[in-house]
Amino acid sequence: MMELIPAIDIIEGRCVRLKKGDFASVTIYNDDPADLVASFYKAGLSRIHCVDLDGARKRTPVNLATLTKMVASAPVKIEWGGGITSLDDVRTILSMGADRVIVGSAAATNPDLVKEWLNEFGSKKIVFGTDIKNYKIAVHGWLDTVDRNLDEFIAFWLAEGARYFLCTDISRDGLLEGPAVELYKKIKRQFPDAFLIASGGVSCYNDLMELEKAGADAAIVGKAFYEGKITLNEMQTFIHHAG
């Protein structure tokens, strides 16, 4: 059973989407992310993936007031990322009601620091964001890459006790051209113990079926929903099929 997780990307408190992580190509979809959370919850979706894009760019959490509103709007589990660089950031976000934090750039650039977070909060509270550009790990809102490939990153963090890995192929993100199914098959073959959250490129209901067949443990649905390519009804159908 593959979990379905709708995505809400936030700039200045509003729901937006980027194309291939490009801040110059922003589309605003909804002024109030809290309303979206409520509608997802009514449709039976129990977890929401949220990225503070202002935070990712500024390397410090920015849209925390929006997180507070979203938590209050429905009893869903929110995983929150963007600009998390310190133990205090993690503490603050979890104390405000987020269920998990997404750590990307810090995990690639400052592993000793993130080991402390993993030790303090445990593997159930931290999702390791593995954003990929030409098989290298991208950081800082996808503006830079580091000299470490995906296999090394996952192997390192699994050995440290991590469990959740959110894998995004940036070349497909926001383009509605289909997910990187072969990549996810490869990851699950190589790292069967990793809980793999597939992200980027989902364009239709059939893509969800393909990701499930590929062995993904969860899938993020973002632009496809906002552009009407996957409806809430279809998301409900998938949940019932998966269940």
Cα 10 to chain centroid distance, Å, stands at: 13
Residue 226 is inside which H or E element, if any? helix 223-226
Distance of alpha carbon 26 from alpha carbon 54, whole angstroms: 12
- pLDDT, one tens digit per residue, over 46-84 is 999 999 999 988 989 999 999 999 999 999 999 999 999
- pLDDT, one tens digit per residue, over 132-141 is 766 566 655 4
Q: What pLDDT is attached to residue 148?
A: 66
Joined together, the tokens standing for residue 96 give 């405000």
Cβ-contact 170, 21 below 8 angstroms: yes
Joined together, the tokens standing for residue 52 give 């503070």
Band of pLDDT at residue 163, cut at 50, 70 and 90 = very high
Distance of alpha carbon 28 from alpha carbon 232, whole angstroms: 19
Q: What pLDDT is attached to residue 5?
A: 97
> Residue 24 pLDDT > 80, yes or no?
no
Domains (ranges, CATH) in the chain?
Answer: 3-242 (3.20.20.70)
Catalytic positions are: 9, 131
